[in-house]
A and B are shown apart, each in its own frame.
Chain A
Amino acid sequence: MNENVSLAGVGGPVIELVNVSVGAGGRPDSAALEGINWRISAGDYWVVGGLPGSGKSDLLATMAGLYRPLSGTLKVFGSDVAELSEDDFMAARLRIGLVFESGGRLFNQLSVAENVALPLRYHRSQPGVEASERVKAILDATGLTPWAESTGGRINLARRQRVALARSLAMSPEALLLDNPLGGSGLQEARWWRDFLAQLAGGHELLRGCPMTLVVACHDLRPWADQGKQFALLKQKRWLAVGGRAELTCSDEPLLHELLATEFGVGQPGG
């Protein structure tokens, strides 16, 4: 196991953490993770495993720019976020999508289509027709068209999670951070997610064929063992690189065996 980045892909830097400490829930008084050194390059497909409460959500929120690191340097697309102006930081953040866990935190007052359209209308001031074409394409690709007019509260948890994915794709981000996307999903839904993410990683037509950089945080590694290109663990407030698919199966790390063998409850929140 390695606490330092050694598995970076060949693409340009997307997110880089240098000795970063992450606050629990974004609070400055307690660290959920410490001393993270991690470089995510364009085209990477990282899967980060950890027990519930290990700080996965806090790590993704920090990488997405929602929380400031407690210490260390966070670089996004090569720029230190501490040195970016507010506008530049915002522009960099728009290039990274974040899909929350447990239903994706949809805006319950809005319909599915309005949820997806909101970032387009807010940031690009796209007129109704132009935005609706993009929304329609995203809803078609994610299989959500039949529920376009339903509000978030009227669809099941698995579909809500898909809506969160669709919403995060609206701005065509270059990297996508997914927090336990299979929480509450059945086998069929899990298969859809893995297939769709594989398409995104390979270059989906929604993104004009550009391969997307993916980071998936989960507490059950089994569905992702044959999907991810790079794997890491969160253990005792530390980020540990595992390696590629080959290292995943031959590692003697007990936590890794646990995450590859244990089936956590459906819909159980991560951490």
Chain B
Amino acid sequence: METGGVNTSLPKSEADPVSPSWWLRQLDAIGGHIIHFVRTVEGLVAFALITLGVAFTKFNASARVIHPLLRAQIYRAGLRLLPMTSFLACALGLVIIGQMVALLTRVGAQNFAGTVMVTVVVRELGPLVAALLVLARAGAAYVIELGTARALGEVEALEALCIDPIHYLVLPRVIGLALAIFSLTVYFILVALLSGYLFAFVQDVPLLPGDYFKQLAVALTWEDFALLAFKTCSFGVVIAVVTCYQGLAQPLQIEEVSGATTRAVVQSVVACVLLDVLFIVVYLVM
């Protein structure tokens, strides 16, 4: 019977989750996500290669302008984060390392303290915490700065003055972030290992400072130092490339900057974790 009312129900093919058209739409959505992902990776790789090319061809060009920018980025992403890094290193040292040393001692495995510390703090916790800290404090700000500069036409103004935006805006950030994350990681590791032992010490754990540091020295190999430097610099490069890409590579309106910032943070975290997995494989192979 005709009711005359508005039919708000979906057609059967759209509502039915087992109909062919429903599956086609799901496949379409998945395909769209895959294409978007591939294009993003393609854009990031292209941007990284362009930056690398500029780094090789113009590294020492316009040193009077670029070197102060580089120092400013190291100060901003490195030195200014020392108080926060100290706090986090102490807190994680107390919470994780102190408890771990106490636990190992309780089960009579205090001889493995050094190995566990190197694995947990030097290889994993230090680089990742430093990278995430720099991403939160400096990386997100990069997207906002560069996205706003792009939206306001400052990047075109640089080009009008024949100033390469990659050289002027991106290169100091990439090098600055790489050096900053490396330095902060080293600082984080030292403070975390020290504060962790202090926590264990006040808990009357029978592990002398000399024994503790001797175990650390024995557990550390030259590969740890080399891979630590390589890994932390890689984190810095990845974060800088992703954040600069999201801020600069596409024309943005002011209202799109916040979305670009969110995308950059998510992509940076995913990229760092994937890179970390890659380094774990390298450690396991070695």
Q: Which residues of A contact B (CB under 8 A)?
A: 61, 64, 66, 90, 93-94, 98, 100, 104-109, 118-119, 121-123, 125-127, 164, 167-168, 171
A-B contact pairs, 25 of them (CB 8 A): A93-B162, A105-B152, A105-B153, A105-B154, A105-B157, A106-B157, A107-B149, A107-B154, A107-B157, A107-B158, A108-B149, A108-B152, A108-B154, A109-B145, A118-B161, A121-B62, A121-B64, A122-B64, A122-B65, A122-B161, A122-B163, A126-B64, A127-B64, A167-B161, A168-B160
CB distance from A271 to the nearest CB of B (A): 14
Query: In the complex the two chains form, is B162's CB within 8 Å of A123's CB?
Result: yes
- A-contacting residues of B (Cβ < 8 Å)? 62-65, 145, 149, 152-154, 156-163, 168
* CA gap between A120 and B277 in the complex, in Å: 46
- Interface contacts beyond A66-B156, A122-B161, A123-B62: sample of 7 additional A-B pairs, CB < 8 Å, sorted by A: A61-B156, A100-B157, A105-B157, A107-B157, A118-B163, A123-B162, A125-B62
Would you call the interface of chain B mostly helix, strand, loop, or mixed? Answer: helix
CA distance A105 to B89 in the complex (A): 43
Q: In the bound complex, how far is the Cα of B155 from the Cα of A61, in angstroms?
A: 13
Contacts of B65 in A (CB 8 A): 118, 121-122
A61 to B156, CA, bound (A): 9
- Rounded to whole Å, the gap between the CB of A193 and the closest CB of chain B is 19
Q: Which residues of A contact B162 (CB under 8 A)?
A: 90, 93-94, 119, 123
Cβ contact within 8 Å between A100 and B160: yes
CB pair A125 B163 closer than 8 Å: no
Q: With a CB–CB cut-off of 8 A, which chain B residues contact A171?
A: 161
A72 → B minimal CB distance (Å): 21
Q: Does A100 lie within 8 Å of B62, measured CB to CB?
A: no
In the complex, what's the smallest C-beta–C-beta distance from B72 to chain A, in angstroms? 10
- What's the minimum C-beta distance from A132 to chain B, rounded to whole angstroms? 12
- Which of B64, B156, B163 is A100 in contact with, Cβ under 8 Å? B156
Query: Which A residue sits closest to B153, measured CB to CB?
Result: A105
B158 / chain A contacts, CB cutoff of 8 Å: 107
What is the CA–CA distance of A126 and B153 in the complex, to the nearest angstrom? 26
Least CB distance from A143 to B in Å reads 21
CB distance from A23 to the nearest CB of B (A): 13
A257 to B230, CA, bound (A): 68
A93 to B158, CA, bound (A): 12
Nearest opposing residue in chain A for B63, CB measure: A125
Q: Chain A contacts of B157 at CB under 8 A?
A: 100, 104-107, 164
Whether A64 and B152, one on each chain, are in contact in the complex, defined by CB atoms closer than 8 angstroms, is: no
- For the complex, give the distance between the alpha carbons of A104 and B65 in Å: 21
- Contacts A105-B152, A108-B154 given; does A122 touch B62 at CB 8 Å: yes
How close is B149's CB to chain A, nearest CB, in angstroms? 8
CB distance B161 to A105 under 8 Å? no
Report which residue of B64, B159, B161 has the largest number of chain A beta carbons within 10 angstroms of its beta carbon: B161
In the complex with contacts A66-B156, A100-B157, A105-B156, A119-B64 CB distance below 8 A = no
Chain B min CB distance to A125 (Å): 5
Contact of A125 among B64, B156, B168 (CB under 8 A): B64
Asked whether A100 and B63 contact (CB < 8 A) given A66-B159, A90-B162, the answer is: no
- Residues A64 and B160 in contact in the complex (CB < 8 Å), given A105-B154, A127-B64: yes
Report how far A123 CA is from B161 CA in the complex, Å.
Answer: 9
- A93 → chain B closest CB, angstroms: 5
A106: chain B residues at CB < 8 Å are 154, 157
Q: What residue of chain B has the Cβ atom nearest to residue A90's Cβ?
A: B162
Q: Cα distance A118–B156 when bound, in Å?
A: 15
A61 to B158, CA, bound (A): 13
A131 and B284 alpha carbons, distance in the complex (Å): 55
**Complex: how many Å from CA A215 to CA B33?**
48
- How far in angstroms is the closest Cβ of chain B from A118? 7
Contact partners of A125 in chain B: CB under 8 A: 62-64
Contact residues in B for A108 (Cβ distance below 8 Å): 149, 152, 154
Q: Which residues of A contact B63 (CB under 8 A)?
A: 125
Q: Which residue of chain B has the shortest Cβ distance to A64 in the bound complex? A: B160
CB contacts (< 8 Å) of A122 on chain B: these are: 62, 64-65, 161, 163, 168
